[in-house]
A and B are shown apart, each in its own frame.
Chain A
Amino acid sequence: MASTIVLPGEPLGPSATNIPGPGSHIHAGHLFSSLAGPLAKSSTSKSTPNPTLTVARPSGILIPETGTTVLGRITRTNPRLANLSILALGPSGEHTCRDSFPAIIRQQDIRATEIDKVKVAESFRVGDVVRATVISLGDERSYFCSTAKNELGVVMAVSEGGNQMVPVSWREFLDERTGARELRKVAKPV
């Protein structure tokens, strides 16, 4: 079903009878589009009599927001935190970022349980690909991320012998070639 394409500045409807969704803005009592993309109108119900008008961005999400699931690579670790370079947005990284965003995963945000006993070196190594969620916009340098959920954590890792490893438990990866196991905070396969 082809939805209408609207352009920035195109009027969408009066603000009295419509709710502005992402991709739109209000000016002088009227809703206008902020993006060039397809217009979507949400369904109405008794509790929400007014439809929400949304304009989708064809290129998808552009920067991480609080609550976004992201994929990134670990660039540095130290005993208190790990530095993550966010490379793609979305649970399976649907939107790759043109520039990577710097982020930090603090020791207390790595897991949900026993957070004071967590060791960063046993959870992440430099070069690991990690799935995390953004918990805060952070300071001017980095976003803050967390992997404190079952489906968050390391998704791809390379062993010390240089081979790709496979996950075997929530704590371990296995290098099939050498048989060695390494400790990581593993993301549960979805």
Chain B
Amino acid sequence: MAADPSPAPTSLSFPRSTFAKLTPGPFLHAHLKQNPPIRPSGRTLTQFREQQITTGSLTHSHGSAVVRLGDTTVVCSVQGEILKAADIPSPPDESADNEDLLETLGLLVPNIELSTGCSPAHLPGNPPSTLAQSLSWKVRTLLYGSEIVNPEDLQIMFTAPKIDEEDDAPVPEVKAYWTLYLDIMFISLDGNPFDAAWLAVMAALRTTRLPRASWDADREAVVCSPALEHYAHLTLHTTPVTATFAVFSTANPLKQRSEAESWVLTDPDTSEEEVCREALTVTVDGKRVLGIDKAGGRVIGMEAVEECVKLTFARWKEVSTILP
């Protein structure tokens, strides 16, 4: 048969979803090559998915939020429990640095649960995967590092009454601490778990109301007031907002480096995450950058990081207004 130089596109009329499944890389590439570049979901390169935040639906939690970021759905619950100062095995020094006190005592305990059947790749029956463990650790690092909660807000103080007139004024003592358990469970996962999880954590913390706790010297225990009007919101000192980006590149060891093209995709979904080898997460609060976390690849340089930081500041403005 004579060689046919022209391509034969009409011989391959697969539906979109089949192309996406058979050749995910070229499928995404064909979309990004367009002018202007567009993603298979119809989003632009810098567009986040639509988010929906609902709070307060869990009865047994002091604060809760359900966040939907596109098809990713996550539930965060904040439950407060009491840690008695007397029970702490190695109590920190009186003069210990306040900044590390929260972390040393371990008063914020986040855990991300992915093995809920939220996607076919995350079925129960296995211990937490590397992804789940690293996400939990990232949330923990951000919670402590951003100093969103101060130890004073979680302390339960007690001032012993003066017994004799000649005693000095009694010094208030820390008798117990509130410990906050943040349980983050994924109902559905379609990419970018960290942004969704952090958004849920923020929404849940901002709507958390703890009962008023006081030290009962007779019982040697903490007793809380049941009155609803005595419940108080947590004092939050910062509003960190995160944004995650993935980089799609056609760089190929078989081809020239200069021929490679790359695009930075904001808020990637699962199909995009699977063909991207490089990712970047930026965390900001107001005008400060709290952290930049980059993984893999060599496409993103200083310029691209600055672009992403700009986008994250814009995202901060958007999110801080809609957070409850």
Direct contact of A and B (CB under 8 A): yes
Q: Which of A's residues lie within 8 Å of B, judged by CB?
A: 71, 73, 87-88, 92-94, 96-99, 129, 155-156, 160-162, 164, 166-170, 174, 176, 189-190
Between A and B, 11 residue pairs with Cβ closer than 8 Å are: A71-B22, A73-B22, A88-B21, A93-B14, A94-B15, A155-B11, A156-B23, A168-B3, A174-B3, A176-B5, A190-B11
Contact call A129/B23, Cβ cutoff below 8 A: yes
Q: Is B254 an interface residue (CB 8 A)?
A: yes
- Interface size on B, as a range, is 20 to 34
- Measured between beta carbons, the chain B residues less than 8 angstroms from A92 are 13-15, 18
Q: Tell me how far the C-beta of B161 lies from the nearest C-beta in chain A, rounded to whole angstroms.
A: 67
- Measured between beta carbons, the chain B residues less than 8 angstroms from A189 are 8, 10-12
Contact call A93/B18, Cβ cutoff below 8 A: yes
Q: Tell me how far the C-beta of B5 lies from the nearest C-beta in chain A, rounded to whole angstroms.
A: 7
Which 10 residue pairs across A and B have the least CB separation, nearest first? A189-B11, A93-B18, A162-B254, A96-B21, A169-B1, A168-B3, A162-B252, A166-B7, A88-B18, A87-B21
Q: Tell me how far the C-beta of A105 lies from the nearest C-beta in chain B, rounded to whole angstroms.
A: 17
Contact call A166/B4, Cβ cutoff below 8 A: yes
Residue of A nearest to B255 (CB): A162
B residues 248-297 near A (Cβ < 8 Å) are: 252, 254-255
Q: Is B120 an interface residue (CB 8 A)?
A: yes
B residues 20-41 near A (Cβ < 8 Å) are: 20-23, 26
Q: Is B17 an interface residue (CB 8 A)?
A: yes
Q: Which of B's residues lie within 8 Å of A, judged by CB?
A: 1, 3-5, 7-8, 10-15, 17-18, 20-23, 26, 120, 252, 254-255
Residue of A nearest to B4 (CB): A168
- Measured between beta carbons, the chain B residues less than 8 angstroms from A87 are 21-22
Residue of B nearest to A96 (CB): B21
- Measured between beta carbons, the chain B residues less than 8 angstroms from A99 are 120
Contact call A167/B15, Cβ cutoff below 8 A: no
Contacts A162-B255, A168-B1, A169-B1 given; indicate if A93 touches B11 (C-beta within 8 A).
Answer: no
- Other-chain contact of B15, A93, A156, A170 (Cβ < 8 Å): A93
Residue of A nearest to B3 (CB): A168
Q: Tell me how far the C-beta of A172 lies from the nearest C-beta in chain B, rounded to whole angstroms.
A: 9
Q: Tell me how far the C-beta of B41 lies from the nearest C-beta in chain A, rounded to whole angstroms.
A: 16
A96 CA to B15 CA, complexed, in Å: 10
A40 CA to B151 CA, complexed, in Å: 67
- Measured between beta carbons, the chain A residues less than 8 angstroms from B120 are 98-99
Contacts A87-B22, A156-B22 given; indicate if A167 touches B14 (C-beta within 8 A).
Answer: no
A169 CA to B4 CA, complexed, in Å: 9
- Other-chain contact of A96, B4, B17, B26 (Cβ < 8 Å): B17
- Measured between beta carbons, the chain A residues less than 8 angstroms from B3 are 168, 174
Contact call A88/B22, Cβ cutoff below 8 A: yes
- Measured between beta carbons, the chain A residues less than 8 angstroms from B11 are 155, 167, 189-190
Q: Give 20 new A-B contacts, CB below 8 A, not counting A166-B7, A189-B11.
A: A71-B14, A71-B18, A87-B21, A88-B22, A92-B14, A92-B18, A94-B18, A96-B18, A156-B12, A161-B254, A162-B254, A164-B26, A166-B4, A166-B8, A167-B8, A168-B1, A176-B5, A176-B7, A189-B8, A190-B11
A124 CA to B22 CA, complexed, in Å: 16
A174 CA to B4 CA, complexed, in Å: 9
